[in-house]
Amino acid sequence: MNVKVVKFGGSSLADANQIKKAAEIIKADSKRRFVVPSAPGKRFSDDIKVTDMLYRCNNLAMENRDINEAFGNIVNRYNGIISDLGIDLSLDEQFEEIKRNIKNKAGNEYAASRGEYLNGIIIAAYLGFEFIDAAEVIEFDSEGGFRLDKTITKLRNRIRNVEAAVIPGFYGATADGVVRTFSRGGSDVTGSIVANAVNAEIYENWTDVSGFLVADPRVVENPEVISVITYKELRELSYMGATVLHEDAIFPVRTAGIPINIRNTNAPEAPGTMIVSDDNDEFGRFTITGIAGKKGFSAINIEKAMMNSELGFCRKVLSVIEDFGVSIEHMPSGIDTLSVICPTSQLDGREDELMARIRRVVAPDHIEIENGIALMAIVGRGMRKTRGTAGRIFSALAHARINVKMIDQGSSELNVIVGIGENDFEEAVRRIYDMFVNSAL
């Protein structure tokens, strides 16, 4: 298909100057016919996103407090953009209506959605594209769940004869017109849905970084950009804490086989990161694709002689943990030992109680809970084809005298998860980065 869907994040549209950059990008390629904008984001680090300003207005209204000043700041922000863009547009009527609705307690989601709605009108006017209100085409059910099939039908009907359009991100409406939003960062999801509906050849997601990075830049100085990543790898890395894209943005394009390209509005010449289907076996520059990780885990370590031959042992332990409402991340085991790794926050100070219950049901020889564990995920489709990857990982950690508490490699050979002490986490990430990236450059 000859269509590209382009989504611009809040920092890419934070002021008129940024909007001009985005417009230049759009106009540089006639295939960029469908534009999904976020609300204006931060212009500088202490700035406030328009979405947050709107949430604040809503909170004031809910407490029956005056919203004039708070809402006036939002009006000023948009009017500043309109005048700096030099377009002939007045949003006074919309401002009046929105202010009235917020005062009348139209609610959180309605208030927040207006950031994208207003920005969409401005950007459509500046580009000379048609404006399509997302409430008309993106459908939610009454519980706030998103309805993909209905939405695709509505969108396809609506755009049938449309040459080029701006469809604001982040919100939609129920069949009876009640405005609902996705969770924060949800314009990514709208972009993905629109890409599916128009059968785009690519979904370009323009943001303020030149793609996904191999490691967290707060840990590794100036990390390399990942040039190609598969959806599965992305899921592994996002789950372990790497964020650029909303998690729900993957599904609509993945099912349609549409690649996502993460690009930088402030460096449009950079190719960014391509997110491609899982069967793509184009080999990346490095054996590993990325490293991510999270702190805040605990290990419940259980020992009992001959536990492997005791029928139902694991099930009994797991059902206690389930009763406590604790989710399980990993479960490495030996002949006489079983460890269950779970988020410390979910134990919620009930460690003694949990251990007592496990003692009662399986009478272990020994049980303890160890806190302060970090999990590091080393992800890469290249690992399957390269021998010695695990060896390199553990020798890098051994050289740094980092004690490995747990190892888990999934059957897909897409990732290796290593459990280490929280204090060792940053150093471990740097060592793995050195081993696989710096040494390959």
- The footprint of ligand ASP (CB under 6 A) covers 10, 38-39, 49, 51, 115, 169-170, 184-188
Query: Among residues 85 and 134, whose Cβ is nearest to ligand ASP?
Result: 134
Give CA separation, 339 vs 292, 392, 406, in Å. 22, 25, 9
Which CB, 36 or 242, lies closer to ligand ASP? 36
Give the strand pairing for 179-181 and 366-379: unpaired
Report the nearest approach of ligand ASP to the CB of residue 365 (Å).
Answer: 50
Complex with ligand ASP: residue 182 or 313, whichever CB lies closer: 182
Q: Least distance from C-beta 51 to ligand ASP, angstroms? A: 4
77: closest CA among 54, 55, 101? 54
Q: How far is the CB of 26 from ligand ASP (least distance, A)?
A: 18
Q: CA 91 to CA 96: how far, in whole Å?
A: 9
Judged by phi (left if over 0) then psi (alpha if -120 to 50, else beta), residue 144 lies in left
Measured CA to CA, the distance from residue 245 to residue 45 in angstroms comes to 20
What's the closest the beta carbon of residue 136 comes to ligand ASP, in angstroms?
19
- Residue 55 CB, shortest distance to ligand ASP, in Å, is 9
Asked if 234 contacts 289 with a C-beta cutoff of 8 angstroms, the reply is: no
> 188 or 233, CB closer to ligand ASP?
188
Q: Is residue 180 a contact partner of residue 239, using CB atoms and an 8 Å limit?
A: no
**Total residues belonging to the chain:** 441
Minimum distance of ligand ASP from residue 53's CB (angstroms) = 10
Q: Which residues of 121-153 are buried (b: 16+ CB within 10 A; e: fewer)?
A: bbbbbbbebebbbbbebbbbeeeeebbbebbbe
Tokens of 317: 């332990």
Nearer residue to ligand ASP within complex by CB, 10 or 364: 10
CB closer to ligand ASP out of 182 and 297: 182
| Helix, strand, or coil (residue 35) | strand
Whether 322 and 300 have beta carbons less than 8 Å apart is answered as no
Contact, 419 vs 343, CB < 8 A? no
Residue 266: CB minimum distance to ligand ASP, A: 17
To ligand ASP, the closest distance from the beta carbon of 219 in angstroms equals 25
Strand boundaries in 232-289, DSSP class E: 260-264, 273-276
- If the CB atoms of residues 47 and 351 are measured against ligand ASP, the closer one turns out to be 47
Residue number, 11 or 273, with CB nearest to ligand ASP: 11
